[in-house]
């Protein structure tokens, strides 16, 4: 277009949007260049009103990071806006060149939040914040396009500007409530600010989809992957996680609040060196299919994917869902969209197995989800007694196909823990499958021992043997006590062979905690987290160990990071919430079977009828495991007033010769209190605290211990727990735990 609009001479077109066209123009009166935005002549009245509303919003706020409005006018019946002509580029153009280093990305976000804060203070919500509406001028960030901005307090006229059934905004950058067509407030802009920060750091959008419907589904139901890199990046990721909470009440409640946390990240010593922030690739290895039944390789359908999962776990930019999660999607024709949403992954590995003539043929595919795009497909054939070469080949090919950046440590990890003996590896894989059932623990133990005898230098087999022996020792009968000492020996063999073996570090946590070394476990795991910020199992271990040490806030923070990395991860956080007096959250997060944390929480809340019903239901489904059955019998004795039956069950629990778990004794003490056995309860509490349970709040909060509070012995137990908790707090601080888990230093 050439010519003039009013006293503005058109120079050139510089942009076109849904409502109109933006030109560079020359103001003849003031002899300055400006940006002139016109509305399309055919625009309907509602579009015209949105255009005018943009003018009102822009005129209402004077701020360094909001593009100033010079004038609003009308030409041939159509309104136009005159704004400052900016030099530079949009954030969208900058992102085409890749990710932005953390210090720069935080600086840009702070400018955006400052502008939003000013806009919100005047009562406006932007509602269409996106990279193309953020301009990086030579004088700093400028927010553009307030066509969807509107006051938070709606009146009849304002509401009528929203078309029925039409979503206004950009799906990829909408808040969930906006995507649902619900009313929005300032917190919708907070969500979008978090999405922009994620995209700046990672170089990829927070939410993806090939259509508007898929994008809206992603915004409403999915979470972007965690960011990894330095500890500064982890800290920034926590800010993003909070800003992207699906429920507005769970987000930052103001732009200033989010900006405060980002400034804290910017002040960290290591942020200037955090030149790269990577979005993790989230992967699940599904159980492989047997093309025809074959007892000789049945165990490989689950064991080979599990071995691949373990080998890939711990790589810096890769988060691999557990085999337990993968087992949920073992159908012949898995629904890729369901897997993408429920497992919250970006890619899956599928495979099939065929055994013929002593040869094993494995066909493997790497598939992007939910699109179903095949990234890599390969067929591998090897002798059945050379299973490791198959696993190693698959792992290497998957890493290559995903283009996962490997550090020197990652490369060592992939080359480490190579079994020297094919027979040892086959025994190891068979034992892994058997160890999932308590009825097969003894057979699994024999298979693990066969593996380490054939290959004494294979660290994963020692670690898995340690777990199997620990479980047999803890839940076994008379004569099984020796298994606990053997478990310790097996774990130490694994650490001696490979001190960095993640599998061993993760499995050893429960052994340490049960034997009264929770604080040692906390410090050890924090050291691992410093090097492995993307490994959810390490955080899951900290959930457990921190609770025993009395560090309940740290336990919950570790849980939140673990869930950020792997929403399907299993943790013991329900016990943490119980000790913290958050009984509703304890019930929500209880994954145990039977759900005895839920039962205890219902009892603590006085909902005894519900607790009794749950106990009966759980007992009716139970097969085997006398230990867990006795817990339910003791609970039912309390809940139904059969105190003698309850005491008999509890006495049998206490008399178990190999059970060693301070937290178990803590729960049993609450049961004994309800059974009117105060002296027995006090003895159990003393036993729990002296064996390493230092949760003062866990002792002080639960109403189930109220009858004991007048006893001097109870106060003595609490005092000993407080001493242990103080020691743990100092050690946690010295290990940099507050920084590693994103907690404020008291």
Per-residue pLDDT, 157: 35
pLDDT in tens, 395-427: 888 888 888 777 777 777 777 677 888 888 889
180-208 mean pLDDT? 93
Is 551 part of a structural domain of the chain? no
pLDDT at 349: 92
Mean pLDDT of the chain: 87
Determine whether 16 is exposed, middle or buried from the number of CB atoms within 10 Å of its CB (0-12, 13-18, 19+): exposed
Predicted confidence at residue 720, as pLDDT, reads 97
pLDDT value of residue 168: 53
Count of the separate structural domains present in the chain? 4
pLDDT tens digits along 524-559 = 999 999 888 888 889 999 999 999 999 999 999 999
320 membership: H or E segment, kind and range = strand 318-320
Pair 40, 70 in one domain: yes
255-314 pLDDT tens trace = 999 999 999 888 776 666 655 688 888 899 999 999 988 888 888 888 888 888 888 887
Cα–Cα distance measured from residue 441 to residue 434, given in angstroms and rounded to the nearest whole number: 7
Q: What are phi and psi of 183, to 5 degrees?
A: -65, 150
Going by C-alpha positions, the residue among 355, 445, 346 that lies closest to residue 403 is 346
Say which residue, 648 or 45, is predicted with more confidence. Answer: 648
- If asked whether residues 72 and 104 sit together in one domain, one would say no
Last residue of a domain, one of 454, 489, 524: 489
Read off the pLDDT of each residue in 30-57 and give the average, rounded to a whole number. Answer: 75
Cα separation of 46 and 612, whole Å? Answer: 60
Q: Are 229 and 277 in contact (CB under 8 A)?
A: yes
Q: What is the pLDDT of residues 358-395, one digit of tens each?
A: 889 999 999 988 888 898 998 988 888 788 888 888 88
Domain membership flag for residue 702 = no
pLDDT at position 156 over 50:
no
Give the pLDDT score at 274: 53
| Model pLDDT, residue 362 | 92
Domain of 60, CATH number, reads 3.30.200.20
User: Which pLDDT score, from 0 to 100, does residue 163 have?
Assistant: 37
Look at residue 147 and tell me whether its pLDDT is greater than 60.
no
Shared domain check, 306 and 267: no
Give residue 486's pLDDT band: very low, low, confident or very high (50, 70, 90): very high
Residues 87-97: what's their mean pLDDT?
93
Looking at the structure, do residues 94 and 213 belong to the same domain, yes or no?
yes
Average confidence (pLDDT) over 217-240: 88
* pLDDT grade for 161, boundaries at 50, 70 and 90: very low
Q: Do 73 and 112 have their domain in common? A: no
The DSSP annotation for 589-651 comes to H---SS-HHHHHHHHHTT-HHHHHHHHHHHHHT--S-HHHHHHHHHHHHHHTT-HHHHHHHHH
* 98 and 71 share one domain: no
**Which CATH number covers residue 191?**
1.10.510.10
Share of the chain residues as helix, strand and coil, in percent rounded to the nearest 5: 55, 15, 30
In tens, the pLDDT along 686-732 reads 999 999 999 999 999 999 999 999 999 999 999 999 999 999 999 99
- pLDDT confidence of residue 164: 37
**Backbone phi, psi, residue 321, to 5°:** -65, 150
Last residue of a domain, one of 415, 449, 468: 415
> Could you tell me the pLDDT band of residue 19, with boundaries at 50, 70 and 90?
low
Residue 270 is predicted with a pLDDT of 67
- Answer positive or negative: Cα dihedral of 668, 683, 507, 304: negative
Q: Is 128 a catalytic site residue?
A: yes
The answer to the question of residue 55 being in a domain is yes
CA–CA distance from 412 to each of 128, 278, 311 (Å)?
46, 20, 11
| HEC sequence for 196-257 | HHHHHHHCCCCCCCCCHHHHHHHHHHCCCCCEECCHHHHHHHHHHHHHCCCCHHHCCCCHHH
169-191 pLDDT tens trace: 678 999 999 988 888 899 999 99
170 and 256 assigned to the same domain: yes
- 671 domain-assigned: no
Q: What distances in angstroms separate CA 599 from CA 430, 578, 615, 649, 670, one per listed residue?
A: 36, 11, 7, 16, 12
Residues 225 and 352 in one domain: no
Say how far apart CA 82 and CA 595 lie, in whole Å: 65
CB 638 within 8 A of CB 647: no
Catalytic residue, candidates 27, 28, 128, 626 = 128
Pick from 442, 460, 489: which residue ends a domain? Answer: 489
Asked whether 465 and 455 are in contact (CB, 8 A), the reply is: no
**Domain of 300?**
284-415
Q: What is the CATH number of the domain that holds 484?
A: 1.25.40
Do residue 400 and residue 458 come from a single domain?
A: no
Q: How far apart are CA 555 and CA 543, in angstroms?
A: 4
Cβ proximity of 58 and 38 under 8 Å = no
- Tell me what pLDDT residue 74 has: 81
Considering the domain boundaries, does residue 139 fall inside one? yes
Same domain, 268 and 290: no
């Amino acid at each position: 277009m050439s010519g003039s609009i009013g006293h503005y001479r058109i120079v050139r077109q510089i942009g076109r949007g849904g409502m109109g066209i933006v030109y560079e123009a020359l103001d003849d009166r003031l002899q300055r260049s400006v940006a002139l935005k016109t509305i399309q002549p055919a625009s309907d009245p509602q579009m015209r009103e949105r255009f005018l509303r943009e003018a009102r919003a822009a005129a209402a706020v004077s701020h360094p990071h909001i593009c100033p409005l010079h004038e609003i006018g009308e030409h041939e019946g159509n309104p136009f806006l005159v704004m400052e002509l900016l030099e530079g580029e949009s954030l969208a153009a900058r992102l085409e060149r890749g990710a932005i280093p953390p210090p720069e990305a935080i600086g840009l976000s702070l400018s955006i939040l400052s502008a939003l804060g000013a806009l919100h203070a005047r009562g406006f919500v932007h509602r269409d914040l996106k990279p193309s509406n953020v301009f990086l001028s030579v004088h700093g960030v400028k927010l553009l396009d307030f066509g969807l901005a509107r006051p938070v307090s709606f009146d009849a006229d304002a509401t009528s500007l929203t078309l029925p059934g039409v979503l206004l905004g950009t799906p990829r950058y909408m808040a969930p409530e906006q995507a649902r067509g619900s009313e929005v407030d300032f917190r919708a802009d907070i969500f979008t600010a978090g999405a922009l920060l994620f995209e700046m750091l990672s170089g990829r959008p927070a939410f993806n989809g090939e259509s508007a419907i898929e994008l809206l589904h992603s915004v409403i139901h999915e979470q972007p992957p965690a960011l990894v890199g330095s500890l500064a990046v982890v800290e920034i990721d926590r800010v993003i996680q909070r800003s992207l909470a699906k429920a507005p009440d769970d987000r930052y409640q103001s732009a200033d609040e989010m900006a405060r946390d980002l400034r804290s990240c910017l002040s960290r010593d290591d942020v200037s060196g955090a030149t790269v922030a990577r979005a993790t690739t989230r992967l699940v290895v599904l159980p492989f299919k047997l093309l025809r039944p074959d007892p000789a390789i049945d165990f490989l359908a689950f064991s080979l994917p599990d071995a691949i999962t373990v080998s890939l776990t711990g790589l810096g930019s890769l988060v691999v869902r557990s085999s337990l999660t993968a087992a949920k999607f073992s159908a012949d024709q898995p629904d890729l969209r369901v897997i993408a949403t429920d497992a919250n992954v970006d890619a899956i590995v599928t495979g099939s197995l065929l055994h013929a003539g002593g040869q094993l043929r494995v066909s493997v595919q790497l598939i992007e989800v939910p699109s179903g795009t095949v990234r890599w497909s390969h067929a591998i054939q090897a002798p059945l007694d050379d299973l490791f070469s198959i696993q190693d080949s698959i792992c290497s090919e998957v890493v290559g196909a995903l283009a996962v950046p490997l550090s020197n440590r990652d490369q060592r990890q992939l080359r480490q823990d190579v079994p020297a003996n094919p027979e040892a590896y086959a025994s190891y894989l068979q034992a892994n499958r058997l160890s999932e059932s308590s009825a097969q623990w003894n057979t699994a133990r024999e298979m693990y021992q066969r593996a380490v005898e054939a290959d004494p230098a294979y660290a994963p087999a020692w670690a898995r043997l340690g777990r199997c022996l620990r479980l047999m020792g803890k839940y076994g009968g008379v004569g099984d006590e020796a298994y606990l000492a053997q478990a310790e020996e097996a774990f130490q063999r694994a650490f001696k062979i490979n001190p960095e073996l993640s599998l061993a570090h993760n499995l050893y946590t429960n052994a340490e905690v049960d034997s009264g070394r929770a604080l040692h476990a906390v410090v050890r795991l924090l050291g691992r987290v410093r090097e492995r910020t993307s490994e959810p199992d390490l955080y899951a271990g900290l959930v457990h160990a921190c609770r025993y040490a009395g560090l309940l806030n740290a336990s919950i923070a570790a849980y939140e990071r673990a869930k950020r990395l792997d929403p399907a991860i299993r943790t013991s956080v329900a016990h943490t919430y119980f000790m913290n007096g958050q009984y509703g959250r304890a019930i929500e997060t209880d994954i145990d079977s039977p759900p005895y944390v839920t039962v205890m929480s219902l009892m603590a809340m006085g909902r005894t009828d519900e607790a009794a019903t749950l106990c009966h239901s759980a007992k009716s489904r139970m097969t085997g495991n006398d230990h867990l059955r006795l817990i339910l019998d003791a609970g039912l004795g309390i809940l139904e007033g059969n105190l003698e039956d309850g005491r008999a069950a509890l006495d049998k629990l206490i008399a178990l010769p190999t059970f060693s778990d301070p937290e178990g004794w803590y729960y049993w003490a609450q049961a004994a209190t309800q059974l009117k056995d105060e002296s027995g309860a006090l003895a159990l509490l003393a036993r729990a605290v002296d064996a390493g349970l230092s949760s003062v709040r866990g002792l002080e909060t639960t109403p189930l211990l109220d009858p004991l509070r007048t006893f001097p012995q109870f106060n003595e137990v609490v005092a000993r727990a407080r001493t242990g908790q103080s020691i743990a707090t100092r050690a946690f601080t010295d290990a940099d735990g507050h920084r590693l888990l994103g907690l404020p230093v008291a």
